[in-house]
Structure 1
Amino acid sequence: MTRLTTSAPPQTELKGGLAQVLLATIASTIGFWAWMSIAPLQRTYASEMGLDEGQISLMLATPVLVGALGRIVIGAMTDRFGGRKMFTLVLLLSAPAVLLVALAGSIQSFPLLIIAGFYLGVAGTIFAVGVPFSGAWFPPERRGFATGVFGMGMIGTAVSAMVTPRLAQDIGYLPTHLVIAGALVVMAAVVWFMMRESPAWEPNREKLVPKLIGALKLPVTWEMSFLYAIVFGGFVAFSTFLPKYLTTIYPNEVDVLGAGARTALFAAAAVIARPIGGVLADRFGPKVVSLTSLGGIVALAYIVGQQPPEGVVTGITFILMASAMGLGMGAVFAWIGPSTPKEKVGAVSGVVAAAGGLGGYFPPLVMGATYHPESGSYSLGLWLLVLVGAFALVVAGMLRDVGRKS
């Protein structure tokens, strides 16, 4: 893979970029909160609707699937219409989805909950808006930092895990979803009035299908899609399934609120590590950071598969695993910027982000399908993660690194 040079306006013209990226990060946080609003209440849905393992896995995975595939289109649309318009659109479209989830839960309708979860996936597409928007505010050698900071919007996953079950307990199920929907609408208004496009951004009016075909012709698209499916897909899968995993494997030690707190810590660790991964990739090159990330994921997934007693060991293991995933996320998107023509960054980012979401779609289904009720173990699913991660480690080692900052 060779480094492509892209022109950028003088640094003075990009003044205020960090504030704009932080605004995008807050918008992403609200979007991720909505996207992950079903998972923290999965035990409530399961008990009130009498769901089995397969139904629970489908319920958790459906928003992830739509959020993944939708990123392809949303990323390409961001190239054309810009981040301000697309952030506003995604946030406003997500609010009715949250209300539909509330209705499904209130009437205890599993089919409607699946439909609502499908629609809720729109909120997950917000990531594909922020990557090209944030990258355009910084010169190529600092885009790892920019996308890393924006990636901290994943903290919305931790917000959902920590806040959603507590709100449901304190103010009720329906009011909780009204709060989330209200936050989406308020954030959309803030974005519309306060966000502005980078002076370096130019609308790409190429039609969607040719644009996507052009992105798919680039080797970097496929290479980064595979790596991101492991690092981000693993993060999404664990963020979605961890409450279920903990309350199943450690039913006597972990309750719903405890599982939410542990999931929030998991998400927070990945969020903190992501910009660090981007900065390290800018400094040392994304390849070495990616290799470190994947090696950590493989080793830590093996430890989780041994099902150590709940406590300090499991806590540290999951936090380190999340950190390894966060480093990898920052490195992968730092790899995209200098390896992709400027006019295709949005389309490539959308495809790669979609691959990451798809990477998070299948593991909950696999975990549900491979669960062994007699032994109470998800070990087979975790072994699959070890094997796939090891293969990704080999693939990453074979790729050519992009230039690094001197």
Structure 2
Amino acid sequence: MSTNSAPSSATAQPELRGQFPQVLLATLASAVGFWAWMLIAPIQKYYSEGMNLSEGQISLMLATPVLVGALGRIVTGALTDRFGARKMFTVVLLASVPAVLLVALAGTIGSFVLLIVAGTLLGIAGTIFAVGVPFSSAWYEPKRRGFANGVFGMGMIGTAVSAFFTPRLLSGLGYFGTHLFIAGLLVAMAALVWFFLRESPAWTPNAQPLVPKVMGALKLPITWQMSFLYGIVFGGFVAFSTFLPKYLTTIYPDQVDPVGAGTRTALFAVAAVIARPIGGVLADKFGPKVIALISLAGIVSLAYIVGQQPEEGILTGTVFILMASAMGLGMGAVFAWIGPSTPPEKVGAVSGVVAAAGGLGGYFPPLAMGATYHAETNSYALGLWLLVLVGTFALVVAGMLRGSRDKAA
């Protein structure tokens, strides 16, 4: 047995050379996918005014891509285990192109029904996250997977890019030109992935059928535990990234215009993106449970402050940035928790389910915010109180879970 193990241990490290550039390329692909996924939200005012949409219609328009992007991650994660990230990144990026063009057509002809159909297809772009998690994990040893998934998680910067650049492209290139540009970017990124991305030598295909694989993941307690926590931290991030432009222009109509709202949303997303790898590294060092508790405590306290609707300015901006940072820390902690707590052959399936739960967590808040909006007082306070209550419950649940620091060491 010793003669067989020696060569493998000697060659394991050289085989993983070039791991960081590979994860960075995957991160860039994820960023482009996130940009496409969040294409509608930054310019929601274009649709709401052009189509004369109600609060409920706006909420549905914003939430539809999130729902499909969430549920689709289960399938995408399992398919990545079978076919590899290189193929799946390419497929997801190219499959997002028709969706982007269909959104362009819907906005051009002013069809809300077609926009919902297009938004449904746009959710394909959001499934890209489930491709990169098993890919990044396979490139790093278990004790550094919090770092690896934290770096890949920075692909969420695509949300910030979308919030910042999409309204500006709309002004510079026009509506249809903006969508053509993003479609071209998806094609270019797919080409880069196809020619330069390579699978980790540690990765092996798993040809187990999708349904048994997902059912196997659902039988693990860690899947349900992390799905709930990720539904709060990532779901909250997606919900605010989607709804924040609408929230700011509604609550502070005299101080914030669509471009300004996009800038603030971009800063929100950047804060979460920066915090995510920090959360992964801290989770590797101190244990994911500790970082998750800090994250949830921050989300609860800051959501309470937002619910008070403070005057727009430095306080409001600081609170949103701190909330995004707390969510980012939690995202890094949750995926650092998954790695050492999950059988290696099930990491892709579990990650897909957890990622889906996170996206699903971002689906309901915009609908809840639209349904609980009080027009007479111009307030979303009730919806924010729901976040405080759910976050408090998650804090209690996380405190009761068994930590995995001993397994991660």
Structure 1 residue 11: deviation in Å?
2.5
Residues 74-133 of structure 1: CA deviation (Å, up to 9, x unaligned):
000000001000000000000110000000000000000000000000000000000000
State the aligned residue count.
Answer: 400
2:25 to 19, 23, 39: 23
SS at match of 1:300: helix
2:315 is the counterpart of 1:308: no
What is aligned with 1:204? 206
Distance 1:260 1:317 in 2: 17
1:134-145 alignment runs, 5 A limit: 134-145=136-147
Helix, strand or coil at the partner of 1:287? helix
Name the % identity.
77
Question: C-alpha separation between the residues in 2 aligned to 1:403 and 1:341?
Answer: 16
Q: Which position in structure 1 is the counterpart of 2:49?
A: 47
Say what the alpha-carbon RMSD is for the aligned residues: 1.0
Residue 280 of structure 2 is aligned to residue 278 of structure 1: yes
Asked if the contact 2:249/2:261 (under 8 Å) is kept, the reply is yes
Residue 348 of structure 1 is matched in structure 2 by 350
What does residue 181 of structure 1 align with? 183
- Match of residue 220 from structure 1: 222
Query: What secondary structure does 2:393 align onto?
Result: helix
Q: Structure 1 length as normaliser, TM-score?
A: 0.98
**Superposed counterparts of 1:291-306, under 5 Å:** 291-306=293-308
Give me the whole-angstrom Cα distance separating, in 2, the residues matched to 1:339 and 1:14.
23
| TM-superposed deviation, 1:304 | 0.1
Q: Does 1:232 align with 2:228?
A: no
Of 367, 371, 380 in structure 2, the residue corresponding to residue 378 of structure 1 is 380
Which amino acid in structure 2 is aligned with residue 117 of structure 1?
A: G
Contact 2:287 2:403 in 1 (8 A): yes
1:170 aligned to 2:207?
no
Query: 3-state DSSP class of the match of 1:121?
Result: helix
Match of residue 135 from structure 2: 133
Residue number among 52, 55, 58 corresponding to 1:56 in the alignment: 58
For structure 1, which runs of at least 5 residues remain unmatched after alignment? Answer: 1-6
Offset at residue 13 of structure 1 (A) = 1.9
Say which SS state the counterpart of residue 10 (structure 1) adopts. helix
- Structure 2: distance between partners of 1:165 and 1:114: 20
Per the TM alignment, residue 10 of structure 1 is displaced from its structure 2 partner at its CA by 2.6
Structure 1 letter corresponding to 2:14: T
Residues in 2 aligned to 1:210 and 1:93: alpha-carbon distance in whole angstroms: 26
Structure 2: runs of 5 or more not aligned? 1-7
Question: Does the Cα contact within 8 Å between 1:278 and 1:334 map onto a contact in 2?
Answer: yes
Letter in 1 for 2:405: G
Q: Show the counterpart of 2:76.
A: 74
Query: Is 2:167–2:262's contact at 8 Å kept on the other side of the alignment?
Result: yes
Contact 1:78 1:346 in 2 (8 A): yes
d(CA) in 1 for partners of 2:258, 2:20:
37
Is 1:366–1:381's contact at 8 Å kept on the other side of the alignment? Answer: yes
**Contact map agreement 1:11 1:139 (CA 8 A) in 2:** no
Q: Any runs of at least 4 consecutive aligned residues in structure 1 with deviations exceeding 4 A, and if so which?
A: none
Q: Name the aligned partner's letter for residue 334 of structure 2.
A: V
Offset of residue 38 of structure 1:
0.2
> Given the two structures, how large is their TM-score scaled by the length of structure 2?
0.97
Contact 2:288–2:405 (8 Å) recurs in 1: no
